[in-house]
Amino acid sequence: MIDNPRSPRVRAVAKLAKRGARADTGLFLLEGPQAVDEALRYRPELLVDLYVSVSVQDRLADLIALAAAQGVEAQPVRDNVLEAMADTVTPQGVVATARHLSSDLDAVLAAGPRLVAVLEEIRDPGNAGTIIRAADAAGADAVLLTGRSVDMYNPKVVRSTTGSLFHLPIVQDLELEPTLDRLRAAGVTILAADIDGGELPELGERLAQPTAWLFGNEARGLLDEHVALADASVRVPIYGHAESMNLATAASVCLYQSAFAQRARA
C-alpha cells in the first residue's frame, strides 16, 4: 500500500505530466480504466507500473485480473495518492506508467500504407488525440506528427485517444517536407486539408488511391508553402450556416471519405 502522496515514487509518476520528464525516462502517463485496458489488450509489454485506488479495487476487479494475466501487478494506493499522481482533477481510480512506443517512418512505409494522417503544427492536445482516434476508427495505417506538433505523450493527447494510441503506428518529431517526399515516393498521394482547396466530394475516385491527409494548425491552417507540397488541396464544404468546422471534425470527415472510397474499390 502506498499512502504517502509526497513520496519520491509518487512524485516521479506525477512528473510524467511534463515533457522533460517523459523524455528523460522514456515513460508516459496513462489514466483511467479505458486507456489501461487498451494497453493491456494490445501492447501489454509497454506497461511498467499500475496503481489502483483502494476505493475502486472491487469495481476494477476484471482490469486487475487482466493485468495479472499479463504479468503486471496492480499496486494499491490511497485515493489522495492517486490524485497526486494523476494529471486530471477527478481521476478515475487507476493510473499506469508505460514505455514509449517504438514506431518509425521506415516501418510505416515498408508496410505499404493506404491511408495516413499527417499532423503539422497541431498544438491542441484534444485535437491531436481526437484525430488519432478518428484515424484508428477509419482504419488508417499510421499517424505522423511533425516536430512542430504537440507531444503525442502529453496526458491530454493520451486521454483523447481513448486507447487508440495502442492500435496503430504513430510517429512524431518528423520534418514535414522529407516526410511527404518519402510518402509520395512510396506511391501515396498527398492531400492538404485547406479552406481554399477544391471541395471534398469532387475528388471522387481519386480518394480510392493510397492517400496521406495533411492537416494544419487549428488557428491558421497550413502555411501556403506547406499546401504547395501536396498534390492537391481540399476543403470540407459547409452546407449549413456554421462559420467554420472544428479541425478534428473536419479531419474525421476526410479520413472517413477516403476509407469509404478505398473499401468500395477493394
Residue 164 region, left (φ>0) first, then alpha (ψ -120 to 50), else beta? alpha
Burial pattern 12-38, b for ≥16 Cβ within 10 A else e, equals ebbbbbeeebbeeeebbbbbbbbbbbb
Q: Are 56 and 93 in contact (CB under 8 A)?
A: yes
Which of residues 61, 76, 99 is at a domain's end?
A: 99
List, in sequence order, every residue forming a beta bridge with 189; answer none if it has no partner: 211
241-248: long-range contacts (C-beta < 8 A, 24 or more apart)? 246/127, 247/122, 247/124, 247/127, 247/131, 247/215, 247/218, 248/126, 248/127, 248/130, 248/131, 248/134
> Per the structure, how many domains does the chain have?
2
- Side chain identity at residue 132, one-letter code: I
* 2 inside domain: no
**CA 85, CA 96: separation in Å to the nearest integer?**
9
Question: Quick one: 94 and 204 in the same domain?
Answer: no
The answer on 87 and 163 residing in a single domain is no
Query: Cell match 485535437: residue?
Result: 127
Assess whether 147 and 41 both reside in one domain. no
Could you tell me the residue range of the domain that residue 82 belongs to? 8-99
Residue-wise pLDDT tens digits, 28-70 = 999 999 999 999 999 999 999 999 999 999 999 999 999 999 9
| In-domain check, residue 1 | no
% of the chain surpassing 70 pLDDT: 100
Pair (201, 78) in one structural domain: no
CA distance 146 to 217: 11
Q: Does pLDDT of 266 surpass 90?
A: no
Integer Cα distance of 215 and 236 in angstroms: 12
What is the domain-level CATH number for residue 79? 3.30.1330.30
Same domain? For 80 and 119 the reply is no
Same domain membership, residue 177 and residue 111: yes
- pLDDT number for residue 127: 96
CA pair distance 207, 131, nearest whole angstrom:
19
Residue 26 falls inside a structural domain: yes
Asked which of 59, 80, 99 is the last residue of a domain, the reply is 99
Residue 143 lies in a domain: yes
Provide the CATH number for the domain around residue 237. 3.40.1280.10
- Measured CA to CA, the distance from residue 47 to residue 36 in angstroms comes to 9
pLDDT of res. 204: 87
Q: Are residues 234 and 127 in the same domain?
A: yes
Q: Tell me, yes or no, whether 83 and 203 share the same domain.
A: no
Residue 28 resides in a domain: yes
pTM over 0.85: yes
Of 80, 99, 118, the residue at which a domain comes to its end is: 99
pLDDT band, residue 102 (cuts 50/70/90): confident
